Amino acid sequence: MEPEASPLFIDFAGISAGEKILDVGCGTGSLTFALLKAADLKEITAIDDSPVFVAETIRRSTDPRIKVEQGDACALAFDDGAFDRALALLVLHFVTDAGKAVAEMRRVVRPGGVVAASVWDHLGGMPGMRMMVDTVAALSEAGRQFRERYCFQPMMRPGEMKATFIEQGLLQVSETQLMIRMDYSNFDDYWSPMVAGEGPFGKFLSSLDAPDRARAEAAVREAYQAGQPDGPRSFANVAWACRGIAP
């Protein structure tokens, strides 16, 4: 879902030609490559703590303006004021200390530069995913524990990210919601990426034995179909987004 969210996030964060931008938690480069299409930037530095993601972003990169490094969002290896903007797309709920990550992003951005981040609203803004996690929660205690972990990650409550930005000294802080829709041709189109992916649901399913996985799939299929024939479905996905100015 990152490729679909990137253009909306870029519009909210704002970028200008000639800027140096830091992409914090780049994953496989969805935001990095979308930034190149959005403006004639001077340089993009993309970091991630996963060597697998770093290697994949390097493999995909063909533009000399992109620099990809392994790095820790909570301890950025850059000088103060090194960038015009520091952006984090769907990352802050994964880091060990979201407040520290925001502080580091502020530190490496020049005075007057922009820090911006977004995080999915797992609790109230992703009905397609809530359908899945609520279904597995009804099946077992492990499912209930998974739902609690999934729905209540850092920065996902209304106003939480804005408060963190303000606490870390950013100015003119604003928060908004970004919405995309995910369209699926049928249940398998919806289910297969979740099962095969490295995301939280795929990891949860891999922890189950074969009978419990089959039971979870059957129950989620029933929820997806909702008493109707299998076929296309469309679900809204909402992310919180926050933007502030470095002092």
**pLDDT, tens digit (0-9, with 9 covering 90-100), for 112-128:** 999 999 999 999 999 99
For residues 2 and 29, what is the distance between their CA atoms, to the nearest angstrom?
9
> Across the chain, what does the average pLDDT equal?
96
Residues 55 and 90 in one domain: yes
Residue 170 is predicted with a pLDDT of: 99
Both 91 and 104 in one domain: the answer is: yes
Amino acid found at 151: C
Q: Report the interhelical angle of 127-137 vs 210-225 (nearest 10°).
A: 130
Q: Which CATH number do you get for residue 3? A: 3.40.50.150
Same domain for 72 and 135, yes or no, is no
- Average pLDDT for residues 224-235, to the nearest whole number? 98
Length of the chain: 247
Say whether 152 sits in a helix, a strand or coil: coil
pLDDT on residue 4: 86
CA distance 47 to 44: 10
Which pLDDT value is given to residue 3? 67
And the tokens for 197?
């992916």
Q: Based on the domain organization, do 93 and 130 belong to the same domain?
A: no
Comparing 42-51, 85-94, 107-116, 198-207, the range with the smallest average pLDDT is 198-207
Q: Are the C-beta atoms of 1 and 182 separated by less than 8 Å? A: yes
Structural domains counted in the chain: 2
pLDDT exceeds 80 at position 199: no
116 shares its domain with 7: yes
Do residues 47 and 26 lie in contact, with contact meaning Cβ atoms separated by under 8 Å? yes
Does one domain contain both 10 and 69?
yes
Question: Are residues 177 and 80 both part of a single domain?
Answer: yes
What pLDDT does residue 191 have? 96
- Residue 153 exposed, middle or buried by CB count within 10 Å (0-12, 13-18, 19+): middle
132 - beta bridge partners? none
Residue 49, pLDDT > 80, answer: yes
- Whether residue 173 is found in the same domain as residue 221: no
Domain region containing 128 = 123-152+186-231
Q: Inform me whether the pLDDT recorded for 236 exceeds 70.
A: yes
Residues 96 and 136 in one domain: no
Whether residue 145 sits in one domain with residue 64:
no
Q: What tokens does 224 get?
A: 């997806």
Q: Convert the pLDDT of each residue in 9-46 to its tens digit.
A: 999 999 999 999 999 999 999 999 999 999 999 999 99
Digit-coded pLDDT (tens) for 139-198:
999 999 999 999 999 999 999 999 999 999 999 999 999 999 999 999 999 999 988 866
Give the tens place of pLDDT for each residue, 58-90. 999 999 999 999 999 999 999 999 999 999 999
β-pairing, 171-184 vs 109-120, is: unpaired
- Looking at the structure, tell me whether residues 58 and 81 fall in a common domain: yes
Spatial distance between the Cα atoms of 68 and 54, rounded to a whole number of angstroms: 7
C-beta of residue 116 within 8 angstroms of C-beta of residue 173: no
User: Same structural domain for residues 10 and 81?
Assistant: yes
Percent of the chain with pLDDT over 70: 98
Question: Is the separation of the CB atoms in 69 and 54 below 8 Å?
Answer: yes
Does 103 score more than 70 pLDDT? yes
